[in-house]
Each structure stands twice: as structure tokens, then as C-alpha cells.
């Protein structure tokens, strides 16, 4: 894929208010999800669950791309079709998670740096051969006493930029994901400061490494109160500060911003995305959600083939709610039980 092809792919993923399904849970993470519904996390159960999502009728109306895990990219549907081809046949673009996780940063207690650059060029070439057209790398930024540090922001931004450059060399669109966690007790104003500092450093490094912003997507956190903060900001306040922060730090050349849900409930993630789009900015403002698209569907499925149709309808409804939010057209009255 040449330069123009990467530009077109990045735009296509978020075209028509579509967003991304993050189905790239690691084997350890999806085990926790399956434990919550009493299903054993075998390779076959993981395959069946991902197949349920990918083959849901109408999911392609709201989902422009799906991030896969290494195992999932190599799996096939019941009829033998590789999952990447199942998605591509619905004009849904397959992607792949390529980092190897966030690890403790030496000398900086409480902070993480994401690893996975060693051997990445070869892995990207293999993934492209398996059908992946975009990739994802997640940096983890923690808010706490005197953190995030400059060292943490610098290390993670540099790694994100090197990853992005390697992706584009291979003709793969990089999703750049610097996540400021919402797990602490910080105010929304503190989140604003940390997010602004993170984005400033990330785009500086992307420029230094020669990354073509028109062939990328940004997957950031919303500017939001920490989970433990006694004063939780309203959706309107989240939208106001998020857009203000992004206008100051995200170049207009970026073809799309796909927010992560960061542990928000399904409806919270939709409500906040909708509020953000009602303020608006120069980019498509969409979603790249994992739990906030899957939680209800996973619970409905619970490993029972007889519940598959209802689980698929539940997932498609959730995806549609977020596509409406990406257009700023969602209302709470649209949230209703879904029948198969």
C-alpha cells in the first residue's frame, strides 16, 4: 500500500461516522472476560466468540475496522474463511495489535513503558500478508504524585513514533494510542494537563520520526475525571475540555480521532462521545471501543450457541448507538432492550 493507499485506508475506517471494534484482548485479558460469564477460555471458545461478533448482520453499517489479536488474525470461521477475509468481505478493514504490553519503567516507580519494537518490522510484514491493513500500539500514562514524568512521556512518545514509522514503511496505517488512565482520583482539570502534555510530546516525536500524519489515526482518552474523584464531570464538561485540549495539540491533518472507552460503562461512553461531537472539531470524532461495545453482548452469549442471535443483535445495537454518537445524533431514548 502506497502513501495514497494509507491515506485512503485511514479515512475509510472512520467514514460515515463508523468506528472501530477493539477485539484485540490478549489471551490473559479475554480469560478475565470469560471468567465473568463462566466460560472456559479455550482457543475454540475464543474463536466462536470473535466469529459471533464478526459475522453479526449489519455490524458493517457502524464498524469500519476491527483490531485483532495475533491468535485471532490466524483463526478462521466455521467455513474455513480466515477472519481477515470475513471482515474484508463486509468492507470492514482488519487491523492488528502489535505491541507486547506495558512494563515497569526502570527508575520510575508507578510508570510504564510499552515494549515490542524488537523484530517489529518482520512481524508487520507477516501481518500484512495475513490481511492486516492497520495496526495499534498502546502507551499507558498514569496520573499520580509527580507523575507522569517527562521521562515516561518521552519514552512512550518515542516508541509510538518509531512504531508508526515502521508501520508506514510496510504500508500499514498506524493507530497511535497514548492512553492517560482514568483509574485514579484526579480531577478532570488534572486529566486535561496530563493529556495535553502527552499529546504535545507524541506529536513532536511523530514529526521527528517523519511520520505522515495523514496516514495515521489517533486513539486517545477523553479528558475525564478519574474514577475515584468525588466530583465527576458532566458529559458537557468532558466535551468542552476534550475539544479544547485537542484543538491545541492535535494537528488538523490527522484524518480521524477514535476515542478509547477507558473503563466507562457502555452508555457513558456513548453519551460522552455524543457530547464531544455536539461540540465538534476539524476531525471525524469516533470510537475504538472494546468493553463498551462488547460487555452486554458477552453477557447475553455466555457461551451458549442458542443465545448467539440475541448476542449479535445486542452488539449491533451498541455499535449503532456509537455510530449515532459519532454523528452527534444519539439520545438516551434510543437506549432500549434489543430483541433478536
pLDDT in tens, 208-241: 999 999 999 999 999 999 999 999 999 999 999 9
Say if residues 173 and 134 touch (Cβ distance below 8 Å). yes
Of the residues 25, 177, 179, 271, which is catalytic? Answer: 177
Q: How far are the Cα atoms of 99, 147, 162, 295 from residue 159, in angstroms, in the given order?
A: 10, 19, 5, 31
The span from the CA of 9 to the CA of 1, in Å, is 9
Say if residues 174 and 167 touch (Cβ distance below 8 Å). yes
**Among this protein's residues, is 31 annotated catalytic?**
no
CB neighbours of 196 closer than 8 A, spacing ≥ 6?
A: 245, 248, 249
**Among this protein's residues, is 18 annotated catalytic?**
no
86 occurs within a structural domain = yes
Band of the pLDDT at 337, cuts 50, 70, 90?
low
Q: How far apart are the first and last CA of the chain?
A: 39
340 occurs within a structural domain = no
Structure confidence at residue 2 (pLDDT):
83
* Domain ranges, residue 146: 3-334
CA-based nearest residue to 337, from 314, 312, 315: 314
Query: Which 8-state DSSP code applies to residue 208?
Result: H
Average pLDDT score over the chain: 96
Residue range 113-132: mean pLDDT, rounded: 98
329 occurs within a structural domain = yes
Structure confidence at residue 339 (pLDDT):
47
234 occurs within a structural domain = yes
The CATH number of residue 313's host domain is 3.20.20.70
50 occurs within a structural domain = yes
Number of structural domains in the chain: 1
339 occurs within a structural domain = no
Of the residues 18, 205, 219, 271, which is catalytic? Answer: 219
Amino acid at each position: 500500500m502506497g502513501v495514497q493507499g494509507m491515506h485512503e485506508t485511514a479515512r475509510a475506517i472512520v467514514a460515515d461516522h463508523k468506528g472501530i471494534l477493539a477485539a484485540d484482548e490478549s489471551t490473559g485479558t479475554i480469560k478475565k472476560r470469560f471468567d465473568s460469564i463462566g466460560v472456559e477460555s479455550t482457543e475454540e471458545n475464543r474463536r466462536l466468540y470473535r466469529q459471533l461478533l464478526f459475522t453479526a448482520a449489519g455490524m458493517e453499517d457502524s464498524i469500519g475496522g476491527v483490531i485483532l489479536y495475533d491468535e485471532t488474525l490466524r483463526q478462521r470461521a466455521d467455513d474455513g474463511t480466515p477472519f481477515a477475509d470475513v471482515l474484508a468481505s463486509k468492507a470492514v478493514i482488519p487491523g492488528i495489535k502489535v505491541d507486547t504490553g506495558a512494563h515497569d519503567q526502570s527508575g520510575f516507580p508507578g510508570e510504564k513503558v510499552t515494549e515490542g519494537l524488537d523484530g517489529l518490522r518482520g512481524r508487520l510484514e507477516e501481518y500484512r500478508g495475513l490481511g492486516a491493513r492497520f495496526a495499534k500500539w498502546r502507551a499507558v500514562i498514569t496520573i499520580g504524585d509527580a507523575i507522569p514524568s517527562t521521562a515516561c512521556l518521552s519514552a512512550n512518545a518515542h516508541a509510538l513514533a518509531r512504531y508508526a514509522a515502521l508501520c508506514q514503511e510496510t504500508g500499514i496505517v498506524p493507530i497511535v494510542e497514548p492512553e492517560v488512565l482514568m483509574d485514579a482520583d484526579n480531577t478532570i482539570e488534572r486529566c486535561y494537563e496530563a493529556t495535553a502534555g502527552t499529546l504535545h510530546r507524541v506529536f513532536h516525536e511523530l514529526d521527528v520520526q517523519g511520520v505522515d500524519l495523514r496516514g495515521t489515526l489517533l486513539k486517545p482518552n477523553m479528558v475525564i475525571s478519574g474514577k475515584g474523584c468525588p466530583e465527576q464531570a458532566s458529559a458537557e464538561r468532558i466535551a468542552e475540555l476534550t475539544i479544547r485540549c485537542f484543538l491545541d495539540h492535535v494537528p488538523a491533518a490527522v484524518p480521524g480521532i477514535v476515542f478509547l472507552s477507558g473503563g466507562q460503562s457502555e452508555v457513558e461512553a456513548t453519551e460522552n462521545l455524543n457530547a464531544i461531537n455536539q461540540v465538534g472539531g476539524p476531525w471525524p470524532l469516533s470510537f475504538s471501543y472494546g468493553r463498551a461495545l462488547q460487555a452486554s453482548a458477552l453477557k447475553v452469549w455466555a457461551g451458549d450457541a442458542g443465545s448467539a442471535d440475541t448476542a449479535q443483535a445486542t452488539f449491533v445495537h451498541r455499535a449503532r448507538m456509537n455510530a449515532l454518537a459519532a454523528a452527534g445524533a444519539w439520545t438516551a431514548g434510543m437506549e432500549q432492550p434489543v430483541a433478536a
